[in-house]
Amino acid sequence: MKTGSGKGSEAAPIATLAQDPMLVPALIAGTLLLVAFWPILWGMFGSWFDEPASMEHGILVVPAALYMGWTKRARLREIPRAPSFWGVVLIGLGAAQAIVGTMSHGIWVSRMSFLVSLVGLIAALYGMRMVRALAYPLCTLILMVTPPTFLYERLTLDLQLLASKIGEGSLDALGYPVLREGNVLELVGIKLSVEEACSGIRSLFSIWFLCVVYGYFFATGRILRLLIVLSAVPVAILGNAGRIVVTGIASQYNRALVEGAAHQAFGYLSVAISAAGCVVFHLLAVFLRRAWRLRRA
């Protein structure tokens, strides 16, 4: 006798979702939410392709968050539907935030209002337990919003100076004479300026997103996931500092390597190395945790 195939078992969750009595109201409410926030969402979409904003990863955030939610579908089906009045309150707060943000030209405030209303919509239809179950994917959506201008500028300045200091110290330790004035490194016969694009701010946001996605799919436990997300900061800083050091060394042998396509290649390489650094950090954390358990056993 022929047993049931894997396709039938895979189709069961889809059929169950299709039978959800809240599916139609959710689709209608979701559509209305998108229509209401369309001008704000369109502006946010455009920021992903704005080079100074350093938000190239933004286009991947929504698909990643949706897939995270899809992987939790079995657990989500078991959560009882308990519409919450607090969801209506959050929708109202999100609408008010959008109005205030738009009138005051607060771009970050208006864009974050969509996420507030989205959380409110889920709570109003399904309840706060559903919101808690979707907390990780919902928090991931924050990464599609460009940070506030004042925070972005402050981070850029601090990272420029930090990268310059680390680059100076590393080059000096490797035996290359270097003099730093602010964010300008003066080596033999050449001056290297650590501009905004070389501050590490671009790689920081991209690596942050990669760490969030990697932590969700490959790490177990909230603490370990949080550590992986937080590791994006030092990893991005060290990766960018390494880029500056390599550029400084290359400038002493071939100045053509510090500009143009070669310089851009160093940037992409530093991001790749930084991303690998997050994986190494995870593996090291897992090893230390296992060693600690074996020691206590």
Instruction: Tell whether the model's pLDDT for residue 177 goes beyond 70.
Output: yes
Interval 107-117: pLDDT, tens: 999 999 999 99
Q: Please say whether the beta carbons of 141 and 135 come within 8 A.
A: no
Interval 231-252: pLDDT, tens: 888 888 887 788 788 778 877 7
| Predicted model pTM | 0.79
Average pLDDT over residues 68-94: 92
Instruction: Give the Cα-Cα-Cα angle 223, 225, 228 (nearest 5 degrees).
Output: 110
CB atoms within 10 A of CB 40: 18
Higher pLDDT, 28 or 269: 28
Interval 49-63: pLDDT, tens: 876 667 888 899 999
Q: What is the share, in percent, of the chain residues with pLDDT greater than 70?
A: 85
Per-domain residue ranges of the chain: 6-145, 150-296
Instruction: Tell whether the model's pLDDT for residue 258 goes beyond 70.
Output: no
Of 138, 260, 251, 241, nearest to 199 by C-alpha is 241
Out of 6-10, 38-42, 88-92, which region has the weakest mean confidence (pLDDT)? 6-10
Instruction: Tell whether the model's pLDDT for residue 17 goes beyond 70.
Output: no
The pLDDT score that the predictor gives to residue 201 is 65
CA 46, distance to chain mean position in Å, is 17
The pLDDT score that the predictor gives to residue 251 is 76
